[in-house]
Amino acid sequence: MGLHSYGVMGVDWEERVRYDRLREERLARIKALLAESGLGALLCFDMGNIRYITATHIGTWAADKLNRFCLLPQGDEPIMWDFGSAARHHQLYNPWLSDGRSRAGISTLRGAMSPESGRAEDVARKIRIELEQRGLLGEPVGIDAIEPAVLFALQREGIEVADGQQLMQMARVIKTRDEITLLNMACAMVDAAYEELYREMRAGIRENDCVALVNKVLYELGSEFVEGVNAISGERCSPHPHVFTDRALRPGDPAYFDILHSYMGYRTCYYRTFAVASASRPLIDAYKRCRYYLDAAIDLIRPGATTADVVSVWPRAQEFGFPDEEAAFALQFGHGVGLSIWEKPIFSRLVSLDHPEEIREGMVFALETFWPASDGWSAARIEEQLVVTADGCEVITRFPAEDLVIAGKPYFTAGGSLPLERDPQSNRNTELDPETHEATAAGSAQPVAQPVGD
């Protein structure tokens, strides 16, 4: 294994993640790209981009608020405007934001502050002043995501606005050595969550119970944020609803999960499929098909290959029950993973065949596949997260998935344990013998139960 797994602590007797190097290399990368661009500055409101540039973090509650913002001018250091007292905290504890570059500043609270309060205009004035001082007011400013009121205020201040998100995506697409280590450690924590889920799953446990268990395990291990846990079971598996409920698991159910969390900001996107107590033949077949498409994609991953090469081995939407690629979007899918779960490169038949992206060493992405079972309600979903190496890739999601895992204890009868491959409805696993008045296992002369150990 070329990648390292560590505990979540820093220690003096091993070099683990070097956070000073992480901060410096990220900032150097985006500075270099900005210098080569036609932009005078970058103005970022997205939390992932802000963290990449400034190495600041105030909690995940602020992730979708668009209230905090940072400016990275050409040839200069970043300036951070933060939520109230967070700015003073950064003055005390973030020496890389020295010389008064951590400041209080607030946008409109997603429009909750009235237009008359002038918050949008205040943001625009702050940016204009910094650009004027550096002779950059006539240069376009790249923006990632923004409230309309702030956008209009910037334009009224004479600031030309451009798309800055693509530049940030270009910076983030190749991971530094420390980013790769953090992503590997984040996956290791999900390995543990799946282990506990496997041990606890049984008939009667609900999807939301599974979500609660995963959250408990991850936060106890040191997760910064559990972004979401998809928990899908039984007849909810096809089509994929992308949300959990309070449905209780039943014997013979398929159950698949996606665990998305972050460690030091670095995300996972990591599906696994289980069967509860036993698995039907349609589910087993669907799992093998799902695994085939995933492995076929992984086999193609190496520097110089393209996203079009990879998606070409995946089935067309019509092959698994959808009218077009937009309707089937994200079921056969790949996406970069870093400070957010969707980064470059994207793998999808919707866009990749006509607009391929080159796969490069140092990329980290997830590949995920789906296949509906022939019974009309079961389905399999598997995902692996991987690092592109000099001559291929290394998978960093290690909970076993080469074959369908059966969770829950086997059922014991007077004759031994029931087979793990069986139809969920008991009567479909038997044949009646009218002479002996016995029901025997379908296709054999043996009793339904099999001796323990066979």
For residues 332 and 188, membership in a common domain is answered with yes
- What is the pTM (predicted TM-score) of this model? 0.93
Give whichever of 195-204, 409-418, 437-446 has the largest mean pLDDT: 195-204
Higher local confidence (pLDDT), 427 or 210: 210
For residues 114 and 259, membership in a common domain is answered with no
Number of domains present in the structure of the chain: 2
For residues 47 and 195, membership in a common domain is answered with no
For residues 250 and 393, membership in a common domain is answered with yes
220 belongs to a structural domain:
yes
What band does 170 get if pLDDT is binned at 50, 70 and 90? very high
Over residues 21-54, the pLDDT tens digits come to 999 999 999 999 999 999 999 999 999 999 999 9
CATH of residue 107 = 3.40.350.10
422 belongs to a structural domain:
no
Over residues 59-117, the pLDDT tens digits come to 988 888 999 999 999 999 999 999 999 999 999 999 999 999 999 999 999 999 999 99
What band does 450 get if pLDDT is binned at 50, 70 and 90? very low
**Distance between CA atoms of residues 145 and 402, nearest Å:** 40
Over residues 246-296, the pLDDT tens digits come to 999 999 999 999 999 999 999 999 999 999 999 999 999 999 999 999 999
For residues 188 and 76, membership in a common domain is answered with no
Over residues 374-386, the pLDDT tens digits come to 999 999 999 999 9
Range of the domain at 356: 177-407
pLDDT at position 188 is 97
What band does 426 get if pLDDT is binned at 50, 70 and 90? confident
Q: Would you list the DSSP string of 238-301?
A: SS--SS--SPBP-TT-EEEEEEEEEETTEE--EEEEEEES-B-HHHHHHHHHHHHHHHHHHTT-
- Tokens 């491959």, located at residue: 421
CATH of residue 328 = 3.90.230.10
395 belongs to a structural domain:
yes
For residues 106 and 227, membership in a common domain is answered with no
For residues 165 and 208, membership in a common domain is answered with no
For residues 206 and 315, membership in a common domain is answered with yes
What band does 451 get if pLDDT is binned at 50, 70 and 90? very low
Over residues 141-155, the pLDDT tens digits come to 999 999 999 999 999
For residues 299 and 341, membership in a common domain is answered with yes
Over residues 122-132, the pLDDT tens digits come to 999 999 999 99
Last residue of a domain, one of 115, 146, 172: 172
Q: From residue 94, give the alpha-carbon distance in Å to each of 54, 90, 91.
A: 9, 5, 6
C-alpha 299: how far from chain center: 21
Which of 130-134, 149-153, 163-167, 415-419 has the weakest average pLDDT? 415-419
- The candidate with the shortest Cα–Cα distance to 175, out of 20, 343, 36, 304, is 343
Identify the DSSP state of 306: B
5 belongs to a structural domain:
no
